[in-house]
Amino acid sequence: MGRPSDEDERAAAYARLFCPALVRAVPRWLARLGVPLWHRADVAGQVWLNAWESWPRFDPKRGRPERWLNAIAVHVAAHYHERLQHRREELVDLIDVPDPAPDAFAAMESHSIRTGTIDAVNELDPQLRFVLMAHDLDGIPMGQVAEDAGLPLSTLYKRRTKALGALRDGRSPRARHEPQRDPRGRRRG
């Protein structure tokens, strides 16, 4: 029985090197070498990348693969600390964050829009205003509004469409421009 060939030694070293126990050992080594937890996974990845890239040059006759990997870990950790010392943080002035509250102009504009909308709704024909108030502001389903008013559902939808159109266009159909109707939609004499 002769000595194992170089290929057999490299295969055995490869199996010992890329095993789960050593995968778990590298982060422990890096912790002992002072690599902070939040950078440890990245630095461990660099250790394994360096090991993979330099594997063709590994000579099993020179030492155990665990010691070779540990030397790579020490080397990568030293470079990590060296780069860490040269990092510079630029301090900047505090950023002026705008106040999330509306300014006086925005508050006045919002109040103006609100009062204008209320005025426009109040100028609507009472039948149109009734549908908007009941359905859109009070949230009553159109079926219930139709039942309460004793009107067909299609009539209420037409009135709502007419009222929204009047608000959108800025015109308000008033009761005096249309023939008088009773609450059920019939013309009065």
pLDDT 10s digits, 81-101 = 888 776 666 767 777 777 777
pLDDT recorded at residue 136: 85
CB atoms within 10 A of CB 56: 7
Q: Predicted confidence band at 30 (pLDDT cuts at 50, 70, 90)?
A: very high
CA atoms of 143 and 141, how far apart (whole Å):
5
For the chain, domain boundaries: 6-86, 104-177
| pTM assigned to the model | 0.42
* Nearest-10 Cα torsion for 110, 112, 174, 121: 30
- Whether residue 77 is predicted with pLDDT greater than 90 in this model: the reply is yes
Q: Which CATH architecture has domain 6-86?
A: Orthogonal Bundle (1.10)
Distances (CA, A) of 18 to 4, 71, 97: 20, 15, 52
Q: Which segments of the chain are extended strands (E)? A: none
Question: What dotted CATH number matches 104-177?
Answer: 1.10.10.10
pLDDT recorded at residue 3: 57
- Lowest-confidence range among 104-113, 122-131, 143-152? 104-113
pLDDT recorded at residue 176: 38
